[in-house]
């Protein structure tokens, strides 16, 4: 176990209280029973459990990944189960849920910060509650009262865990092509038959039951995504008294062996292969969620939550790697100052070298910018959840929709780069298993794929979010950013200079968006959507850094000086990259479109 902090309590305090003023949420009825003291208690407890229970087995579970026994069960280190039991006992599964469900009605912003401690300490073990909470959120929103009693409440107690089952071997991200089917039965249940893969947490012996949320098609329904429905398919059936009973026909066909994030099982599941046949009938017993053929819209409730959560996971891994590289740079002595011409003088800590400070500043700008963006989006969720005015609800929904692909993809790309720089700071040692940073890189690499690749997020941002409602999404984002720019200009000095830079980047964003869609050719507009995603992501994070700058502008001390210097780095080294990207996009470059498959 490392003695280096895995997250910065001071940064969280700054973001939550000095910038976002999360304490003000307690004036809203849903959070009225809370205070800053209760928020701090939850965060302190989370940090303690993460450090004491999750971090110690992080490297061990990486080296001893889950295995499938001959009887189809999963074996993995007992420390994983023990840590999750402590997590459950602390009530953290239920933190943000309604009191009537056994929750504490804590703000999402606070619970995201809480979960970041666990994700930083042990991404793999943290994956189980992460998926379970998202599953429970979906069912709490779209399930029947009976489904909530049967499945949600046990998940919030930590007795049942949850998954999401979307991908199939031949479909991948193309959900229109899934073939899993659900045949209706006379008793109102369905029999589900098909194969799902890449199912994180898909099988294990860590809980009494596993609640799979499965996308499938009811025979005779519409073609494509319009024919997708959503089903609860438990690993084990549950009686009317709530007791877990016989095994459902859900079979673990195999485990995927991953580059990183090895401690979380990743499964291929066969539904209805006949190994277990409740009542002697073919197919796994499933229960329809909501209405037929609306499954994808329900699943997006979970997917959008998971996308922001993946951004937090990437951020947490990048952040802890950054802190470890700072500590290493302070203690590792090598070389002499550039201004020191005496070869016999003592060696200096490598943090004295400008290029090492460059790498540390880059990491700091990526991880602190990403954490701020994720918490900003989380506060939007809290405001939306407690907003009564329909027009305000619509604006909050629209802004959150536009920011979600960026909140997922920017951390996934740039906090991974932070992990790469952390290895570089460590030098050759960073490439060995003696230090944690190589594992952090491997664990984080998955997040560029999880919950939609960069290509998928780019198509979502450029093909849907910024043009929806005739461009209302982009206009709202621009208006929101302009409010920050106006405050910066009013403050004057360096604040105004940074505000002008954001304004210029925002103008390029809007003009480029118009330019790529002007010909009216979707294929041409979307050919370079990933470039658009990266450029707009940088503009958004520059805005978030401007927000942090203004919150720190008049305050003194090393912490605030560090904030300001990281902001300067992002504006001087990172934001200028977007100029060339926007120019490429506005040129309507056809390089990728005009490339023949035979040329590879």
| Closest by Cα among 263, 233, 258 to 248 | 233
Ranges of beta strands (E only) in 248-294 are 250-255, 266-271, 284-288
Residues pairing with 211 in the sheet: 162, 234
Q: Is 549 exposed, middle or buried (0-12, 13-18, 19+ CB in 10 A)?
A: buried
Give the number of other Cβ atoms within 10 Å of residue 346's Cβ. 8
Give the total residue count for the chain: 600
Q: Which of 55, 65, 352, 451 is catalytic?
A: 451
Structure token pair of residue 511: 């003009």
Structure token pair of residue 555: 């305050």
d(CA 297, CA 274): 30
| Closest by Cα among 281, 373, 292, 516 to 15 | 373
The helix or strand, by DSSP H or E, that contains position 572, with its residue range, turns out to be none
d(CA 87, CA 201): 16
| Closest by Cα among 336, 302, 251 to 73 | 251
| Closest by Cα among 169, 331, 181, 126 to 256 | 169
CB under 8 Å to 437, separation ≥6 — which residues?
321, 324, 325, 419, 422, 423, 426, 430
d(CA 373, CA 15): 10
- Residue written as tokens 């700008």? 365
The helix or strand, by DSSP H or E, that contains position 17, with its residue range, turns out to be none
Q: Rounded to the nearest 5°, which phi and psi values hold at 163?
A: -140, 175
| Closest by Cα among 156, 164, 147, 163 to 242 | 147
d(CA 179, CA 176): 9
The rounded Cα 55 to chain-centroid distance in angstroms is 20
d(CA 384, CA 308): 15
Told to judge if 451 belongs to the known catalytic residues of this protein, a careful annotator would answer yes
d(CA 1, CA 28): 40
Helix, coil or strand: residue 252: strand
- The catalytic site residues sit at 451
């Amino acid at each position: 176990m490392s003695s280096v902090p895995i997250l910065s309590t001071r940064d969280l305090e700054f973001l939550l209280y000095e910038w976002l003023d999360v304490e003000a949420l307690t004036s809203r009825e849903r959070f009225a029973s809370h205070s800053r003291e209760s928020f701090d208690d939850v965060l302190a407890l989370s940090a303690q459990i993460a450090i004491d229970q999750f971090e110690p087995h992080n490297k061990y579970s990486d080296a001893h990944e889950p295995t499938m026994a001959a009887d189809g069960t999963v074996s993995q280190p007992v420390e994983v189960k023990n840590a999750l039991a402590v997590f459950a006992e602390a009530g953290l599964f239920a933190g943000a849920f309604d009191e009537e469900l056994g929750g504490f009605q804590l703000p999402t912003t606070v619970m995201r910060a809480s979960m970041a401690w666990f994700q930083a300490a042990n991404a793999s073990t943290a994956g189980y509650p992460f998926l379970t909470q998202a599953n429970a959120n979906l069912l709490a929103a779209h399930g029947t009262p009976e489904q909530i009693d049967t499945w949600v409440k046990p998940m919030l107690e930590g007795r049942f865990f949850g998954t999401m089952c979307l991908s199939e071997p031949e479909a991948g991200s193309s959900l229109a092509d899934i073939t899993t089917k659900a045949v209706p039965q006379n008793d109102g249940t369905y029999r589900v038959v098909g194969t799902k893969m890449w199912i994180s947490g898909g099988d294990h012996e860590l809980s009494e039951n596993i609640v799979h949320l499965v996308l499938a098609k009811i025979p005779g329904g519409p073609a494509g995504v319009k024919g997708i429905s959503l089903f609860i398919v438990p690993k084990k059936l549950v009686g009317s008294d709530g007791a877990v009973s016989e095994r459902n026909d859900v079979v673990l066909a195999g485990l995927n062996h991953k580059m990183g994030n090895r401690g979380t099982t990743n499964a291929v599941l066969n539904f209805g292969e006949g190994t277990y046949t409740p009542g002697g009938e073919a197919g796994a017993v499933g229960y329809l969620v909501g209405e037929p053929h609306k499954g994808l819209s329900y699943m997006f409730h979970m997917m959008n939550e998971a996308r922001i959560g993946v951004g937090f996971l990437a951020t947490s891994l990048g952040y802890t790697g950054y802190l470890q590289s700072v500590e290493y740079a302070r203690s590792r002595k090598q070389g002499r100052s550039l201004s020191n011409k005496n070869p016999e003088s003592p060696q200096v800590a490598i943090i004295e070298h400008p290029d090492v400070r460059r790498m540390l500043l880059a990491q700091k700008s990526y991880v602190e910018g990403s954490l701020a963006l994720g918490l900003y989006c989380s506060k939007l969720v809290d405001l939306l959840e407690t907003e009564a005015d329909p027009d305000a609800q619509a604006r909050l929904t629209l802004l959150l929709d536009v920011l979600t692909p960026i909140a997922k993809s920017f951390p996934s790309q740039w906090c991974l780069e932070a992990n790469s720089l952390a290895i570089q700071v460590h030098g050759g040692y960073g490439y060995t298993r003696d230090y944690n940073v190589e594992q952090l890189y491997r664990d984080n690499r998955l997040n560029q794929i999880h919950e939609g690749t960069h290509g998928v997020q780019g198509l979502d941002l450029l093909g849907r979010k910024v043009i929806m409602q005739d461009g209302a999404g982009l206009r709202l984002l621009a208006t929101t950013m302009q409010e920050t720019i106006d405050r910066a200009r009013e403050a004057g000095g360096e604040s105004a200079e940074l505000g002008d830079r954001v304004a210029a980047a925002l103008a390029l964003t809007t003009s480029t968006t118009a330019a790529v869609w002007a010909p009216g050719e979707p294929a041409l507009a979307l050919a370079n959507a990933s470039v658009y995603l990266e450029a707009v992501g940088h503009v958004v994070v520059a805005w978030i850094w401007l927000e942090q700058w203004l919150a720190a502008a008049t305050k003194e001390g090393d912490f605030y000086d560090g904030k300001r210097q990281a902001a300067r780095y992002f504006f001087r080294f990172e934001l200028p990259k977007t100029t060339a990207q926007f120019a490429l996009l506005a040129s309507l470059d056809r390089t990728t479109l005009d490339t023949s498959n035979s040329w590879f």
